[in-house]
A and B are shown apart, each in its own frame.
Chain A
Amino acid sequence: GAVVSQHPSRVICKSGTSVKIECRSLDFQATTMFWYRQFPKQSLMLMATSNEGSKATYEQGVEKDKFLINHASLTLSTLTVTSAHPEDSSFYICSAMETGLNTEAFFGQGTRLTVV
């Protein structure tokens, strides 16, 4: 299957700083990427849909100014958590769907963010 690489796998940052998480499709082009958040012992909650070359579509309740998404190329989407606070600590997972196909999204390995 196709490979999606997410970096970093773990990051610890101080309150008030910003953190950028990268999601790359390594062997396919992805017009659409998705960002999920997963709290401990809970399911994945979709945060936003990232479309190459256009603004991301955020789910209800997700602060777009806090979670900045950029999808500048067909193989890269980034999520920046701005002015991070301890409550932003979570597991963030991206997925990517191959352009032109519509049946499966491939997931990255996830990023464990801890804000101290």
Chain B
Amino acid sequence: AQSVTQLGSHVSVSEGALVLLRCNYSSSVPPYLFWYVQYPNQGLQLLLKYTSAATLVKGINGFEAEFKKSETSFHLTKPSAHMSDAAEYFCAVSPWGGGGNKLTFGTGTQLKVEL
């Protein structure tokens, strides 16, 4: 069984400040881990993914995440927030080898960026 926990359903940062969105996972097998972004009334866009290569993963729009097995974490960061980053962010896990890429999503974190 797999699961992800996203700490903080709402995060608010100032424009230019560091963004940190937390995700912890639970998996009985080596996982694939993903971060997705969702804008209102739209589907999901992949920000980045971890597939057992480098533990520090760089994604689009300046985001990155670090896989820490010892902490079972995959937190998403961005050094400097921009207004356009305001959206809902989902962490997701999939079993190693894909398992049909059956994704289990966290409950999401709404990021608000203030001037």
A residues whose Cβ falls under 8 Å from a Cβ of B:
1, 4, 6, 9, 32, 34, 42-46, 49, 91, 93, 95, 97, 102-110, 112
Shortest distance between the CB of A42 and any CB in chain B (Å)? 7
Interface size on B, residues (CB 8 A): 23
Given that A102-B98, A104-B101, A112-B41 are known contacts, is A42 also in contact with B32, CB under 8 Å in the complex? no
Shortest distance between the CB of B44 and any CB in chain A (Å)? 4
Given that A42-B107, A44-B105 are known contacts, is A109 also in contact with B97, CB under 8 Å in the complex? no
Whether B90 sits at the interface, judged by CB under 8 Å, is yes
Q: Are A110 and B102 in contact (CB under 8 A)?
A: no
Given that A42-B107, A110-B41 are known contacts, is A104 also in contact with B102, CB under 8 Å in the complex? no
| Number of A-B pairs, beta carbon distance below 8 Å | 62
Q: Are A97 and B100 in contact (CB under 8 A)?
A: yes
Given that A42-B107, A42-B108, A43-B105 are known contacts, is A103 also in contact with B98, CB under 8 Å in the complex? yes
Given that A34-B103, A43-B108 are known contacts, is A107 also in contact with B98, CB under 8 Å in the complex? no
